[in-house]
A and B are shown apart, each in its own frame.
Chain A
Amino acid sequence: MPRWLRRLLTAGAIVVGLVVIVRLLLDPVATHFTRKALREADGIRGDFQSVHVTVFPPGYQIRRLKIVEHPRDDWKNPLFYAERVAATLDMSELLHGRLAARARLDEPKIAIVKRKKKDDAKAAGVPDVRDALLRALPAEINRIEVRGGEILYRDLTAPRDPEIWVHHLELAVENIATRPNRTEGRPVTVSGSAKLGRSGDVTVFVSANPFARKIEFAGNVSVEGWKAAELFDLIEPATDLQTVAGTIDVFAEFKSASGMITGGVKPVLKNVKVRPTEDNFGNKLKAWLADEGVRLLSDRVPDRNAVATIVPIKGRLDDPEVQLWPTVVGVIRNAFVVGISSGFTHLPPPTADKPEGKIEQLREGLKKDEGPPEAQPTEQEAKQEPKKDKKS
């Protein structure tokens, strides 16, 4: 064998050996740094089954990640659990010389627990799970995907510890950027769908420009077909009543710019029936009054028999105002003029050009040929209107 060939083979063997050694070392090194990041995080502790680093495409994944509140360290009820958390470098961004990654969370479970004040004092503040994950993965994340997620909210301060359970959560967050020039003029978008309890279908869409002088965002949320019977743990302890039949739909649409928010929420209660939980005279009377109230305010539209309204929300982002009078007029309109349909129609409600008195709102809001009651302008909007007129 010629000497040059021998040298070439030796060099090749060394390179292959080095590659194999580096590959074998990658997982233990990544495991070490992940454990370190979780150990040093404020207010939380974490554990996982394994860490794996992929080379093609460059990526990193953790299996069975479990995060608990520290020093509570309740490993049976973790704050966060995910079957798999994976981050992959975005090759198209890498070609532009930028280190950006996509994250994917498979079957993550988040538990949010509202505790009594005594217990809160023991807790070490709000744990920063995001910070720990970012320390384990230094690349910028530009897309997040969630598959089969669950969120559980449990209120330990209320009787029966009522829960709100959101599951089958599918979520995509896009165009996340840390600097304005990275956005390329695109908004951050969040789109998702989920199941609320055993029956409610949830959809979410939010778009935002986080780099506006004051954050700008807009979006909508809907819950459809949520069975009223699922509210038992929330309603029964306070009222001794139960909603044995009926469904609840809720539609909300909102926009926020320059520190102000406008929006509306449309609750639609269909075929709701109220019954007492215990058969005594007081409960029976309460249930009868509630049931008759629902019956009186329902629209008697075949198959839905719904109580509905549109609740306008306006004002400063940090102190939004829920407008009560248009809400009341909306309930009357639905019952006696025209039923308010399910869906995003008339959301957010239009705003009247100038502030109207209660009688005027009632008169206009109950006209058959007009839409549902309008939101009333805020003081700031009312002051701006005359200026617009002058200009025009």
Chain B
Amino acid sequence: MTRRWWILGVSLAFAGACAHTKTTDAGREKETAKQEERKDDKGAKPRAARETTKQSPELHPGKPDAVPVATGPEALLKPGAEEKIRERLVAGGLVDDGDEKSAAVREGIRRFQKEHDLPATGVADRETVKGLGLDPDQIFRQATVKD
């Protein structure tokens, strides 16, 4: 009996070793997103997803009276704010005009912060936004404060 288990185990290991994935989900996701975009264009229904509770980056999505708390800095920005920051960085020669990657924007912010004696975190905080000549109240979301 034990011998059978050993043979089964070794066979599984060899089978597994031959069937390694050789690709990551990063490439697959881009492909899936493109496919879904195409389907949406045609007005077709998207592929039925497995029933799961989707995770939002925010704690209280869609609640304007709740203090915005989120896992990433992008989720704390107002719509269009990321583009405004990027435009300023492009104007300052810190990001290439055609470079839309978030890593490039992050590096651009880091360079701007170093040049302006701010902590080089790569995250656009209020001081960085002020330094870029933007109004922080127009960039960052905040809860509607009741009087």
Contact = CB atoms under 8 A, between A and B. Distances in A.
B17 interface: yes
B70 A338 contact: no
A12 to B, nearest CB: 38
Contacts of A298: 20
A295 B16 CA distance: 11
Given A174-B125, A192-B121, A300-B22, A209 B67 contact: yes
Most chain A beta-carbon neighbours within 10 Å: one of B20, B73, B123, B125: B20
Nearest to A211: B67
Given A185-B142, A187-B69, A216-B59, A345 B21 contact: no
B67 A212 contact: yes
Most chain A beta-carbon neighbours within 10 Å: one of B50, B121, B142: B121
A216 B70 CA distance: 10
B71 interface: yes
Contact of B50 (A186, A191, A262, A370): A370
B52 A185 contact: no
A322 B126 CA distance: 36
The majority secondary structure among interface residues of chain B is loop
B40 interface: no
Given A183-B67, A191-B121, A300-B20, A350 B25 contact: no
A388 to B, nearest CB: 10
A203 interface: yes
A189 interface: yes
Interface string B60-95: 100000011111110010000000000000000000
A195 to B, nearest CB: 12
B41 interface: no
Contact of A301 (B24, B70, B123): B24
Contact of B126 (A174, A203, A334): A174
A295 B120 CA distance: 38
Contacts of B59: 216, 218, 255, 257
Contacts, number: 164
B125 A172 contact: yes
A174 B26 CA distance: 33
B69 A185 contact: no
B115 interface: no
Contacts of A146: 119
Contacts of B29: 341, 345
A298 B113 CA distance: 39
A335 B52 contact: no
A146 to B, nearest CB: 6
B97 interface: no
A143 B67 contact: no
Contacts of A295: 17
Interface string A245-258: 00000000111010
A359 to B, nearest CB: 16
Given A207-B68, A209-B67, A172 B13 contact: no
Contacts of A181: 145
Contacts of A211: 67
Contacts of A372: 25
Given A172-B119, A205-B73, A364 B21 contact: no
B67 A338 contact: no
B52 A299 contact: no
B54 to A, nearest CB: 6
B7 interface: no
B100 interface: no
Nearest to B53: A351
Given A172-B127, A337-B21, A345-B26, A255 B71 contact: yes
Interface string B116-142: 001111110111000000000000101
15 contacts: A170-B121, A172-B123, A174-B127, A185-B67, A185-B145, A187-B69, A207-B68, A209-B67, A217-B69, A301-B23, A334-B21, A338-B21, A350-B52, A353-B51, A372-B25
Given A300-B20, A338-B24, 13 more contacts: A189-B73, A192-B121, A207-B73, A254-B71, A295-B17, A299-B20, A304-B24, A338-B23, A338-B25, A345-B26, A351-B55, A371-B25, A374-B52
Interface of A: 143, 145-147, 170-172, 174-175, 181, 183-187, 189, 191-193, 203, 205, 207-209, 211-212, 216-220, 253-255, 257, 262, 295-296, 298-302, 304, 334-346, 348-353, 364, 370-372, 374, 377
Q: When A and B form their complex, which 3 residue pairs have the shortest distance between CB atoms, in order from nearest?
A: A185-B143, A341-B26, A339-B24
